[in-house]
Structure 1
Amino acid sequence: MSPRGTRARRANGKKHAIWLAAGVVVLGATGVTAVAASAGGEDAGPGDGTQPAKAHVLALDGKDPKKRALPRTGTQSFSLIGVSWEDSGDTFEGTAQIRTRKAATGEWSEWRDLDFDVRAPESAEGEESDVRGASEPLWVGPSDGVEARVVADGEETAVPDALRLDMIDPGETVKGKGKSNGGGKGSGKVTASPDATQTTPAGPAPEPSDPVPTEEPTGSAGVPQDPAPSTTPTESTPGTDPTEGPTDEPTGAPTDGPTDGPSTEPPTSEAPTDPTPSTVPTEEPTSPAPTTEPSGTPEPSSTPEPSGTPEPSTTAPTAPTAPAIVSRAGWGADESLVQDPPSYLNKVDAVFVHHTAGTNDYACADSPAIIRAILTYHVRTNGWNDIGYNFFVDKCGTVFEGRAGGVDRPVLGAHTYGFNSYSSGISLLGNYESGGTPTAAAKQAIADLAAWKLGLHGVDPEAKVTLTAAADTGVWTKGQAATLNTISGHRDGYATLCPGATLYSELPGIRTAAGSSPYATGN
């Protein structure tokens, strides 16, 4: 366990809801306190019959400073679980294992380890007073019981303060709505970034009409592989139907992030006053030709506010057609969870590939429920403003919008500690460290998505880029110049096993596929 020094917290008046509801129950003789937590409260859900995600908490109390244990205990329904503690500055040094009981059969699982690769973002978002340390969340499917054991075995042999189990029920959404090819908040179209130098496509790419396959896909683009995904997830088991959730926009205007070039801190700058900009900016800011080698000290800049009718441009290149992307509304994001508007980078210099860990034993129809649960975990457990990853891909090759703000815009995420201020994060659902193998459809989807995202900023997906680390990551020290591939694995920037050995070994091929992707600039 790392030393428990006090951390300077940034008090900015952020209006977070109080998540923990009244009702504390001591489970007899176990030293464990059960605390009910509501994910949505009275204001959650759009009032259309949906069931918002819910968070349940079991506080792991005890007298032994080195370990905590929870005997087999019945719980409210949940499908995703993790452990968390009070101070995100404490790095957990030990093991945490859980067993869960299947709601349908009453069968108990084997012991499973939780991973500890999560760091709060190095931006102001990670300094909020309610940010907690936490494990990676583990998807276990519909469950109604848990057993846990946590042991500290590091230099500081004590479990963290305020240790607890966090269990998430992903809820349900209305079926058959919300698929789109673009814009944030499920707008159904790709929205233009006010600071982009490209114009937007004439319209969204056609959406496949076939249902999402749940078996191993077959080939496309002349290479044997999994079938092309659909943007409409198939019917799932009860409680995990992929569908539309609330689409309320967070109030306030987005703020821009850093300008081109490396920076040791993710800066902010002026934001457009309209959080939902026009599809074409009225001004075309000029800038030097894009490069994958940012250098120098970035200067703050503001972005023009879109208004009125844009003047025709003959010099701005046309943005590549976007791949099919399931919007936040499509997977049922509860927008009432998101309290602050998104922040933006000036440019995406790199894409980091992740995995969600957890399990590979999921149906593709369950993907929306998994992402809803991760959103709730990242906000309610980690204390972040929104889901951390910019995009998700499942094993059927379906792409999902992650953090809100517009899929074609450089949204600041919380995925790669030390390099969030330069990059976009793509996370593949599943575990690729413990025997999982990424499907051909998933690899192609990652390649196409990365090629398109980098192409919006004139970045070659097969090139290298030098970025300045904004924090000590275990791989790079703060201020160090890091030379990375423009498509890199999480472990290239931060000391972690993510995205898993098998997915990491596929990255060279993914870069090659991205370079020849129809979504790459110039193809």
Structure 2
Amino acid sequence: MRRVLAGFLAFTAITATLLILPVYAAPSPTPKPVEASIDSVALGSATAPEGEAVVTTDGEVVAAGELAPVTPEPSAAPPPVEPAPPAAMPSTPTAPTSAEQPAPASSGDEVPGVPALTVSRPETDVFSTVGVTWSLDGPVSGVTAQVRVKDKSGKWGRWSDLEMEDAAAVPAADGSLPAGGRGGTAPYWTGDAYGIELVLQTADGSTPQDVQLELIDPGTSPADSAPGKPTARDQAQAGMYMPGIYSRAQWGADERLRTWAPEYAPTLKAATIHHTADRNTYTREQVPEILRATFAYHAVSLKWGDIGYNVLVDKFGRAWEGRYGGLASTVIGAHAGGFNTGTFGVSMMGNYDVVEPPRVMLDAVAHVIAWKLSLYRVSPHGTTTLTSSGGGTAKYATGVSVNLPTIFGHRDVGSTACPGRYAFARMSYIRSTVAAMQSNIGLYEPAEVWTRSADQSVTRVHRGNPGDVPLTCDWDGDGRDTVGLFRRGQFILFDSNSPTAPITAAFYYGNPTDIPLCGDWDGDGDDTVAVWRGGQFFLRNANSSGVSSTYFAFGNPTDAPLAGDWDGDGADSPAVHRDSYFFWTNSDQQGVTDGYRSFGLSGDRPVTGDWDGDGADNLGVARAGVFYLADRTAGQPYDYLYYGNITDNPVAGDWDDAGTDEIGVSRGY
């Protein structure tokens, strides 16, 4: 019986500096998920090599393991051979057969005297990305991995070093890593390759166990060469437009590989700059392939369950959606071991330890960061304190607090060259460009709800993040409405508006793009959740995941959904607002219009509540900081109240168990 237009942000008109920022276009050809192929080659370890792997020192094959010398098996005596006739001509030498053992891999640049795990595979199925992974059962550091690949013509390329990847998978609540999580190198884009050699060493004498060579073919798609316009969108209020970002669908993400359930930080504090540390020679058409390969390597080979970076930017100045969970949200990535929470990882595609990053790339990076930081009132020239969770290549142990710039490089917190010396030298340029882009817009209000009780007292509820949708209801039946959140398909509920109130329920119901509502659908005294999707209401009589208790069509897809107890029977039912009209039904089973009224102007923001305490809900609209509250019966007088800013969104609820609903506003979402 306490209602709020929870989903109003989806169709608010633009006023003052309030903007709703969908970015959409229909690409042609239509992108589709592309299945990647991963060939995992088991190599064992330097103490117990497996398969085709051998152990070498200074390029020469040696015995593997301290207690496991390799003793050659005696070969059988060769069968007698008839001597060749004296007049026979010398035979033409033949190429080695596939059964012959290739020479051991050697780059000529190994660490002297240190055993190396090596493999030579002159013939493979085509792949275009390589990485090396190992078990996290024991401490491993100082890994050097060198590879070279063979092209289609049979020519071997130059040896390349692979950077060590952060063991940056997000730990569980108890601090443990996901089951089976692995360490490894960063993925390295080779382009189409048909053979590979690897030399793997550790400078500190540690021995990686269960080493695997990962050869990835990301597949191709007609959409790779023509992705169209960026279609990634995230509902957000902003004083600057969300930059064009290509969606996961546009680069062909196969969402079947994603096993990680999104987790969110309380807020965003900083942006972290990275590079992918692979080749700089890629073409525009190859970028989606590189993204699919990186996704497959992070999600499957390293077992992170998703790509680690939040956004990736190519050398052509195009930004691409990375981590699933919302571009405007605080979704936690896996990009900077120990410092993933509260940061936003942007990675430049290529190796910027060897070349300068292009200006168009730097500007695109700055644009993405300017938009993202503006959502959370973060200054690009400021500093913030982050607390390390340790692990990976983190420079700081668990629990150590570090003061950092709000835009920092990965090397500031990790033992790595990332984002490369040339990119790191441009950090000041990125910060200044971000500041210039933000200079004309100011920064956001924090995400919060302001309530005004019957005694005129005001409560400020700072809860959630930009991109969340607030909704107010009586979740526990105590007579008081409290602020809950809807975050891309997840409801997060609280039984108090106290700033220290714990979460009392968090569950998924509906789709990320649904509009959330709440009401007492069954009249039992407790409000429960619902979603509106394209003209249909899906009501649930429990605050938990599960199927809808009932669903039906009511209204048009472009209407604004509402809820209220329209006949005073103690149970809520749906309504819609269209232009200046309210339409409601007294049923939670079927979409039959039981009443309607025109009130307000087209473009007003609707709100409903029991203004007079008679047990039935009434109508209201908010317009430029003024609330207009009325009865459902046409011709009755209305009240008006000044409250909030012109860009605020209206909410309502019984904040103090007074028996009547009072007004409130939300801002910053």
Task: Give the TM-score normalised by structure 1.
Answer: 0.62
Deviation at 1:521, TM superposition (A): 4.3
Q: Distance in 1 between matches of 2:430 and 2:366?
A: 5
**Which of 109, 116, 121 in structure 1 is aligned with 2:157?**
109
Q: Distance in 2 between matches of 1:520 and 1:467?
A: 29
Are residues 1:444 and 2:494 paired? no
Are residues 1:146 and 2:65 paired? no
The match for 1:212 is none
- Decide whether the 8 Å contact of 1:450 with 1:514 is kept in 2: yes
Deviation at 1:368, TM superposition (A): 1.0
Query: What's the Cα RMSD here?
Result: 2.4
One-letter amino acid of the structure 1 residue matched with residue 275 of structure 2: H
**Which of 259, 281, 288 in structure 2 is aligned with 1:368?**
288
One-letter amino acid of the structure 2 residue matched with residue 391 of structure 1: V
One-letter amino acid of the structure 1 residue matched with residue 270 of structure 2: A
Q: Distance in 1 between matches of 2:202 and 2:137?
A: 16
Which structure exhibits the higher relative contact order, with contacts defined as CA atoms closer than 8 Å and separated by 6 or more residues?
1
- Decide whether the 8 Å contact of 1:88 with 1:133 is kept in 2: no
Q: Distance in 2 between matches of 1:189 and 1:169?
A: 25
- Decide whether the 8 Å contact of 2:31 with 2:223 is kept in 1: no
The match for 2:122 is 73
Q: Distance in 1 between matches of 2:348 and 2:403?
A: 24
- Decide whether the 8 Å contact of 2:31 with 2:250 is kept in 1: no
- Decide whether the 8 Å contact of 1:88 with 1:134 is kept in 2: no
Q: Distance in 1 between matches of 2:285 and 2:415?
A: 32
Are residues 1:459 and 2:378 paired? yes
Kindly tell me the number of residue pairs found equivalent between the two proteins. 344
One-letter amino acid of the structure 2 residue matched with residue 175 of structure 1: A
Alignment of 1:401-416 (within 5 A): 401-416=321-336
Q: Distance in 1 between matches of 2:313 and 2:198?
A: 30
Task: Give the TM-score normalised by structure 2.
Answer: 0.49
Q: Distance in 1 between matches of 2:198 and 2:265?
A: 40
- Decide whether the 8 Å contact of 1:347 with 1:457 is kept in 2: yes
**Which of 90, 105, 108 in structure 1 is aligned with 2:139?**
90
Q: Matched residue of 1:108: which SS?
A: coil
**Which of 384, 387, 391 in structure 1 is aligned with 2:307?**
387
- Decide whether the 8 Å contact of 1:397 with 1:444 is kept in 2: yes
Q: Distance in 2 between matches of 1:480 and 1:121?
A: 19
Runs of 4+ in 1 over 6 A off after TM superposition: 47-50
Q: Which moved more, 1:361-370 or 1:447-456?
A: 361-370
The match for 2:395 is 475
- Decide whether the 8 Å contact of 1:78 with 1:144 is kept in 2: yes
One-letter amino acid of the structure 2 residue matched with residue 382 of structure 1: L
The match for 2:493 is none
Deviation at 1:48, TM superposition (A): 9.5
Q: Matched residue of 1:512: which SS?
A: helix
One-letter amino acid of the structure 1 residue matched with residue 148 of structure 2: R
Alignment of 1:19-34 (within 5 A): none
- Decide whether the 8 Å contact of 1:452 with 1:521 is kept in 2: no
Share of identical aligned residues, percent? 34
**Cα shift readout 1:127-167 (whole Å, capped 9, x = no counterpart):** 112211111111100111111222333143x3x11112101
Q: Distance in 1 between matches of 2:414 and 2:377?
A: 25
Q: Matched residue of 2:124: which SS?
A: strand
Change (3 A) 1:60 1:326: same
- Decide whether the 8 Å contact of 2:169 with 2:178 is kept in 1: no
Q: Which moved more, 1:448-457 or 1:333-342?
A: 333-342
One-letter amino acid of the structure 1 residue matched with residue 433 of structure 2: A
**Cα shift readout 1:294-346 (whole Å, capped 9, x = no counterpart):** xxxxxxxxxxxxxxxxxxxxxxxx45310000000111111111124311222
**Cα shift readout 1:170-194 (whole Å, capped 9, x = no counterpart):** 112342786565xxxxxx45333xx
Q: Distance in 2 between matches of 1:48 and 1:360?
A: 25
Greater share of helix: 1
**Cα shift readout 1:87-122 (whole Å, capped 9, x = no counterpart):** 26532434221110113x322111111111421335
Q: Distance in 1 between matches of 2:352 and 2:418?
A: 8
Change (3 A) 1:481 1:520: farther
One-letter amino acid of the structure 2 residue matched with residue 439 of structure 1: P
Gaps of 5+ in 2: 1-29, 50-62, 66-114, 444-669
Gaps of 5+ in 1: 1-46, 182-187, 193-199, 202-317
The match for 1:191 is 234
Deviation at 1:465, TM superposition (A): 1.1
Deviation at 1:72, TM superposition (A): 3.8
**Cα shift readout 1:442-468 (whole Å, capped 9, x = no counterpart):** 111111111111111111112111222
Change (3 A) 1:321 1:145: same
Q: Distance in 2 between matches of 1:386 and 1:361?
A: 25
One-letter amino acid of the structure 2 residue matched with residue 148 of structure 1: L
- Decide whether the 8 Å contact of 1:53 with 1:171 is kept in 2: yes
Larger radius of gyration: 2
